[in-house]
Chain A
């Protein structure tokens, strides 16, 4: 029975959570009120772990919450349940796009939409840049991080062939060495 409730809860979350990584949070918080799966405090730990392990935050949180609720199989079930609405909705939209891609309406719409996407992503990453480069209490720049950022931007532009994963791994190692 727990499995069925789990499927229902995460399917619902996948269907109604719109937006970035933490958009699923209100739904998970709601689960702490209605199910004995995890407490509010455990939920905060889950966020910390999900943010610092590989993978999209929303997916990590779903796996973690499912695991807390019903073990490893629960983790798999919760994850599959949260992605099912996405796949269905996107497949419907994508097949409509395929059919109407030559329509003027769509083409005119994408003219500003593409500009807006650049702005949207820049806005989303703005906060991450602030947190990574500044001390959020005193707003003092964290100079080693600022310098690393500047060097990385230069290297990424100068050597476009280097894989992004290489920069991520190297910066992780540098973070440990420089005690960032």
Chain B
């Protein structure tokens, strides 16, 4: 199996079971990309997410391109991204063309209420795992809590948080002379 086919089929599966925004893909990325395929470490995945959130484009697509590029260059990035969006294209085209006959299905609402709870629980656990892998010391923990508050309550743009984190990390580590690492 070539790496391109492997990327395409792995991300196809993730596209098929991602419900919601880019963060909803995280539990699947950890399972498939980090644990099963070992295409990235937990820490690398965090870097992709941070950059994917602060560069143009849909976060899930950016993350897929990142993983694909490091496995198979430009073609790898294309294979992973096409794999990710194929289920969307197929499903939406079917739904859109039959929608005028679709009335309200109460059971569908209930099913999605259940799925949302599962996504919430899965992502909560993913964040816990990411935090364990990515927070190096007490200040890192404080910083994670501050950024959480900035996003959840102040609705600040992730771009500023990523930029400030990058600069502040450099200032702090430079003063410490990198002793912690």
Q: Are B131 and A168 in contact (CB under 8 A)?
A: no
Known A132-B116, A153-B124, A153-B125: A116·B99 in contact at CB below 8 Å: no
Give the secondary structure class of B's interface: helix
Q: Which residues of A contact B151 (CB under 8 A)?
A: 119-120, 122-124, 126
Tally of A interface residues using CB under 8 Å: 95
Number of A-B contacts (CB under 8 A): 377
Q: How far is the CA of A174 from the CA of B121 in the complex (A)?
A: 15
A176 on the B face (CB < 8 A): yes
Contact at B50–A114, with CB atoms within 8 Å?
yes
A125 and B25 alpha carbons, distance in the complex (Å): 12
In contact, B91 and A123 (Cβ under 8 angstroms): no
| Contact status of A83 and B158, CB under 8 A, knowing A21-B21, A56-B88, A76-B89 | no
B37 near A: Cβ within 8 Å?
no
CB distance from A160 to the nearest CB of B (A): 9
**A170: shortest Cβ distance to chain B, in Å?**
7
Q: Which of B58-99 contact A (CB under 8 A)?
A: 58-62, 65-66, 69-70, 74, 77-78, 81, 84-85, 87-89, 91-93, 95-97, 99
Bound together, the chains give a CA A123 to CA B114 distance in angstroms of: 21
A152 in contact with B110 given A18-B54, A113-B47, A119-B148 (CB within 8 Å): no
Contact A83 B31 (CB under 8 A): no
B88-A55 in contact (CB<8A) = yes
Interface assignment of A9: CB less than 8 Å from any CB of chain B: no
Does A114 contact B25, Cβ atoms closer than 8 Å?
A: no
Q: Are A117 and B134 in contact (CB under 8 A)?
A: yes
B108 — which chain A residues lie within 8 A by C-beta? 52
B61: shortest Cβ distance to chain A, in Å? 5
Q: A14-B57, A54-B87, A57-B20 are in contact. Are A114 and B159 (CB under 8 A)?
A: no
B3 at the interface (CB under 8 A from A): no
How many residues on B have C-beta within 8 angstroms of the other chain's C-beta atoms?
Answer: 107
Whether A180 is near chain B, meaning CB under 8 Å from some CB there, is: yes
Per the bound structure, the CA–CA distance linking A3 and B104 in Å amounts to: 33
Question: Would A132 and B120 be within 8 Å (CB), given that A60-B88, A116-B50 are in contact?
Answer: yes
Bitwise, A60-82 to B at CB < 8 A (1) or not (0) is 10011001100010011001001
A:40-64 near B, CB below 8 Å: 45, 49-60, 63-64
A104: which B residues are within 8 A, CB to CB? 178
- Chain B residues within an 8 Å CB radius of A117: 46-47, 49-50, 53, 130, 134
Chain A interfacial positions (CB closer than 8 Å to B): 14-24, 45, 49-60, 63-64, 67-68, 72, 75-76, 79, 82-83, 85-87, 89-91, 93-95, 97-98, 104-105, 107-129, 131-133, 145, 148-149, 152-153, 156-157, 163-165, 167-168, 170-176, 178-180
